[in-house]
């Protein structure tokens, strides 16, 4: 309807111009020109652009406004969601690192205490050689038993230290991965910002087209297809955020 109205107005304006140039103007041309001038004056009084085929209340104007509101709402919700997810990931990372650090400190202190107690016990038992000579036959001296237990504890302590080192390295690797995921989220936010700017540009081009101004924009259907493409891209970005969130959850588990 918008394009038909624009074509009709163009034909009228062309007819008026041709009539103005023609030396012999018919009565029908004069009446038609007066009607066009009256319509223009009425629209100017109502503060409506005469060249605009989509005035207030027109279906195309309502559709354009609804599309703009929907895209702005989607972008705003997606941006808020990214902010919340980023904050949650940071809190989870800090909480996980704090728990691991506390657990590692407690385990190390417990191993140090056990090792120190066993060393003191062995020293007390090995203070007199008479105790070692009092055992005979198939009985193993108690000092030898304690030395064996001490060796086992030392080996366990060494293994625990290695496990803690591996856990620390794994924690560092996860921190690096979380940082990469955070960078990916920031990249998505930048891309969403670019999409928002592109969407604003597309909406501006649609307005230019619908208001009858000349531009390098194609038909309205192409502009709507471009807006639909932006919606698909936004959905894809949202799915990518969900995938990153699942990866972070797997890393935490």
| pLDDT, tens digit (0-9, with 9 covering 90-100), for 165-184 | 788 788 788 788 888 887 88
- Name the residue with higher pLDDT: 126 or 196: 196
Find the mean pLDDT for residues 226-240: 70
Long-range contacts of 148-155 (CB under 8 A, 24+ apart): 149/118, 150/118, 150/119, 150/122, 153/114, 153/115, 153/118, 154/115
Residues 6+ apart with CB under 8 A from 73: none
- For the chain, give the percent of residues with pLDDT over 70: 58
For residue 139, the 8-state DSSP code is P
Q: What are the residue ranges of helices labelled H in 126-141?
A: 129-133
- Are the beta carbons of 198 and 250 closer than 8 angstroms? no
Find the mean pLDDT for residues 149-165: 76
pLDDT, tens only, 73-122: 888 888 888 888 888 888 888 888 888 878 877 888 887 888 788 878 87
Average of per-residue pLDDT values in the chain: 69
pLDDT of residue 193: 82
**Most confident of the following: 16-20, 30-34, 47-51, 106-110:** 106-110
């Amino acid at each position: 309807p918008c394009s038909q109205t624009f074509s009709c107005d163009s034909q009228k304006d062309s007819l008026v111009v041709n009539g103005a140039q023609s030396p012999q103007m018919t009565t029908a041309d004069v009446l038609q020109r007066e009607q066009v001038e009256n319509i223009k004056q009425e629209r100017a009084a109502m503060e409506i652009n005469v060249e605009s085929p989509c005035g207030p209340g027109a279906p195309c104007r309502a559709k354009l406004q609804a599309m703009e509101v929907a895209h702005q709402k989607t972008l705003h919700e997606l941006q808020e969601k990214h902010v919340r997810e980023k904050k949650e990931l940071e809190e989870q990372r800090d909480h996980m690192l704090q728990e691991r650090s506390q657990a590692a400190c407690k385990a190390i202190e417990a191993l140090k205490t056990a090792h120190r107690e066993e060393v003191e016990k062995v020293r007390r038992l090995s203070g007199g050689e008479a105790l070692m000579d009092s055992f005979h036959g198939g009985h193993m001296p108690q000092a030898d038993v304690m030395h064996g237990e001490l060796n086992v504890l030392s080996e366990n302590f060494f293994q625990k230290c290695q496990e803690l080192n591996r856990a620390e390295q794994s924690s560092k690797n996860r921190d690096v991965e979380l940082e990469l995921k955070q960078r990916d989220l920031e990249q998505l936010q930048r891309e969403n910002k670019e999409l928002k700017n592109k969407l604003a540009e597309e909406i501006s081009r649609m307005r230019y087209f619908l208001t009858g101004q000349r531009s390098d924009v194609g038909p309205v259907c192409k502009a709507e297809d471009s807006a639909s493409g932006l919606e698909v891209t936004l959905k894809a970005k949202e799915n990518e955020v969900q995938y990153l969130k699942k990866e972070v959850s797997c890393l935490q588990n």
